[in-house]
Structure 1
Amino acid sequence: MISCLENLPDELLLDIFSYLSPIDLFISFSYINNHFNSILCDQSIQLGIRIAKNNYTKIDYFANYFTHIYICNDTDIDIRQFNNVRSLTLGPYPKPSDELINQLVDQPQRYFPYLTQLIVYQPLSTWYSPPSVRLWTQLFTNRFSRLKHCSLPGRIFALPTTYFYCPSLYSLSIGGCSLRDLPVLLSALPNLKFLSTDLWGIADIINQSSYHHSNLSHLSIKFRQQTIVLEELCCLLLYVPYLKIFTIEGTQQHNTFNIDNWYNILISQFEYLNKFYCTIRLSDSIENNKIDINYIRKYNKIFSQMKLFRRNDSLFISNQ
């Protein structure tokens, strides 16, 4: 008969530990004996914590144990002590301060050698501050050498073409970039599989290089401040011929919306495309019956879930 807790199988102990907060777990079980220490130090165990005012003062003693950190307070904290972290989230409430961003970019190879996921919530009004610009530089010069998934709110423009290379990133979500800079961004991230971004500014991209990204399979774009121009969209998509999932949001003039053109772009050019999601605002004020939605649904299976709806006096066509 099992007479004490430490004689339980490790699998059962881990299940028990999952019901405790990380702070309570370490206060209660660390340094009791070698058995418990070996379990708590096991790198395969992913321990996460939301850092708030009521638990920050106790964290220093166990900082190296945590692999998932979520900063949700405005108390002064040195995130560089969590040098075993794999996933780091800054924000959204409160927004991360410049001091936190400075800590993040201070020798990341030394303080965050295992970081694989980074999420930063920051208002666009502060994204052009020196610490934020430095974060972009560190990120895209491969200073976070193991980073695979990244979400940043800022917009990027005029990307440098030298010393700009990050082969580790698989997934990237950013607040926006220009049409002209998107091919530069893709060429710097050769192993990227997922990209989500807003597109800002109309640019002549027709005569740019014939670069093809061989790994990007999921692209999500939202057109800002301009209507969707199919010719530009077609040229843009030539950079990503192996798309399997494509999501788009934007505005298009009703008199230019043509399902034949969309079909030619999506089906004729993409051999591997199997999922297409869209929300398109038809900028002209028209009646619903001016568009034959049944014809569109029957046109091809990727359009089969299309529907028309009105929102704030605007007409949308969408399958989301």
Structure 2
Amino acid sequence: MRRITKVGHNLELLPDELLIAIFAYLHPVERLWSFGQLNSRFSNILYEVGVGINVQTSQQAVTLPHCIYPLLPLHVVSVQLRILCPLLDLIAFSNVRSLTLSNLTLQQLATVNSKYMPYLMRLSATTSAGSNSLIQNVVTDQFPALRIVHLPLSRWPDCRTMCNVIRSLAIGECLLMDFRRLLCSLPNLRCLETSITRCDLVFDKTIYPVHSSLHRLNLFIEDNINQYEVELLLHGVPELLHLSIHFNDWKDNEMDFFKLHDILKKCTPRLNYFKFFAWIRHFDNDNPPTIPPIETVRKMSHLFDAIEFGSHEKRRDIKFVRNSFTLPLQDHAKLRE
């Protein structure tokens, strides 16, 4: 402690701007433990830099809460819980900007709302316990500063009151019939990643307004969908620039690339990057599914600056075709000729 005090005395001779730059290179928790209680000047500088909490081990889960609370919990702007830490009271961190949760208790889950976290800008949760309740909190609560949401184990609820300031959303599942409603509830959304699943209900044919903000879309198709359904998914996003489609079980008799070419040309006129990836399986080695020929790629090349096709092995009990094709940016001009 005497050594730390001596270091603090020497640092007091430096201007605030230089101290802020130095503290930025230190581990967030270490700088809080070392300089959080020296004097008010260091406390103010720590507040400017911000403090992060990263709980990765069981020992940290036990000792960290006792070290943080006597210090400056209001300075914490980043919290990462990689393991269960029931002693950590998230209510104390009212200035948190970034929240990453791999495991949490139901009591901690209830604190993830705009009342206790009014400045939350980024929310990422990969915990399976309470994942749907967490997305429900985001849907029903209006976080004024929330911009990025990553909930890969949650399912989008059928709700029209979602937090409309979100710019980037990654969610585990969205029903085919709910996809357009999701876009309509997020008018400022720029990036979306989700898994599309089919249900027995009729596809929603309601006419929704054009979504003019979405620029990047990553779709994981869990069930075989036809040409008409793909067109409905992409209809209304004319400003799309980047599109990635992953098929879990591709069957080329459902929709070939020539039809896909026409759909993309019609629905996404500004598209400049397209990536296709599929698990292609077959049981007869003499009649494998069709891999996109170079003629198809040549036909589609005038639409895109980069094209990627591929298939890959996934399970040992089923035979797969393994093939891939990538069109780099520098080769794009050659195909146009």
Give the TM interval when normalised to the shorter protein: 0.7 to 0.9
* 1:114-169 deviation per Cα after TM superposition (whole angstroms, max 9, x unaligned): 0011111122xx447xxx43x333312343222111111344366134xx142211
CA distance in 1, matches of 2:136, 2:156: 13
Question: Which one-letter code corresponds to 2:90 in the other structure?
Answer: I
**TM-score normalised to structure 2 length:** 0.79
- CA shift, 1:67, in A, is 0.5
Question: Which one-letter code corresponds to 1:198 in the other structure?
Answer: S
- CA shift, 1:288, in A, is 6.8
- CA shift, 1:257, in A, is 4.6
2:65 maps to 1:56: yes
- CA shift, 1:265, in A, is 1.2
Match for residue 10 of structure 1? 16
Q: Which moved more, 1:185-194 or 1:299-308?
A: 299-308
Alignment of 1:297-316 (within 5 A): 297-301=297-301, 302=304, 305-311=307-313, 312=315, 313-315=319-321
Distance 1:30 1:207, change over 3 A: closer
* 1:264-304 deviation per Cα after TM superposition (whole angstroms, max 9, x unaligned): 11123212111111212334455679546322332233386
Q: Which runs of 5+ in 1 are unaligned?
A: none
SS of residue matched to 1:140:
helix
Question: Which one-letter code corresponds to 2:106 in the other structure?
Answer: D
Task: Supply the RMSD in Å over aligned alpha carbons.
Answer: 2.8
Match for residue 156 of structure 1? 155
Within the candidate set 248, 253, 258, 1:260 is matched to: 258
Q: Is contact 1:288–1:308 with CA below 8 Å preserved after alignment?
A: no
Match for residue 138 of structure 1? 137
Q: Is contact 2:121–2:148 with CA below 8 Å preserved after alignment?
A: yes
Within the candidate set 70, 76, 79, 1:69 is matched to: 79
Q: Which moved more, 1:268-277 or 1:190-199?
A: 268-277
Distance 1:255 1:58, change over 3 A: same
Q: Is contact 1:66–1:85 with CA below 8 Å preserved after alignment?
A: yes
Q: Which runs of 5+ in 2 are unaligned?
A: 1-8, 327-337
Question: Which one-letter code corresponds to 1:299 in the other structure?
Answer: K
Match for residue 119 of structure 1? 124
Alignment of 1:263-282 (within 5 A): 263-282=261-280
Overall identity of the aligned pairs, in %: 26
Distance 1:73 1:184, change over 3 A: same
Q: Which moved more, 1:26-35 or 1:166-175?
A: 26-35
Distance 1:74 1:289, change over 3 A: closer
Q: Is contact 1:282–1:317 with CA below 8 Å preserved after alignment?
A: no
Q: Is contact 2:100–2:124 with CA below 8 Å preserved after alignment?
A: yes
